[in-house]
Amino acid sequence: QVQLVESGGGLVQAGGSLRLSCTASGRTISSLRMGWFRQAQGQEREFVAAISSSGGSTYYSDRVKGRFTISRDNARNTVYLQMSSLNPSDTAVYYCAIRISGATYSLANFGSWGQGTRVTVSS
């Protein structure tokens, strides 16, 4: 069974950048579609970005498009989320997950969630 561990979160000033990592263990994720979600305090978990197994296709929510970049290194069994031009509304716990089913990027189509990494953007 695959386990996902997110890292790279922290405190950053508005306008700054962070790179999150999601490293898998237990099996290779090279054939799996992956995604990032986030959950701000008191709010529902929302989709951020997704990537195909090869990394050739990516998809972003409108809220992060143009500022965030999802990528992967299958040799390292790791998926990344490069975040730039951060603003306080990006403050949340960020989770990675495996896209297990479905044609949409809804929460129900993802599984094997990691424990999350917290990102705090100060103004």
**Mean pLDDT per 10-residue section of the chain, whose length is 123 residues:** 96 98 96 97 97 96 98 97 98 97 88 96 96
The pLDDT of residue 104 is 86
The pLDDT of residue 102 is 79
The pLDDT of residue 103 is 80
The pLDDT of residue 101 is 85
The pLDDT of residue 52 is 95
Rounded alpha-carbon distances, angstroms, from residue 9 to 6, 13, 51, 86, 101: 8, 13, 20, 12, 28
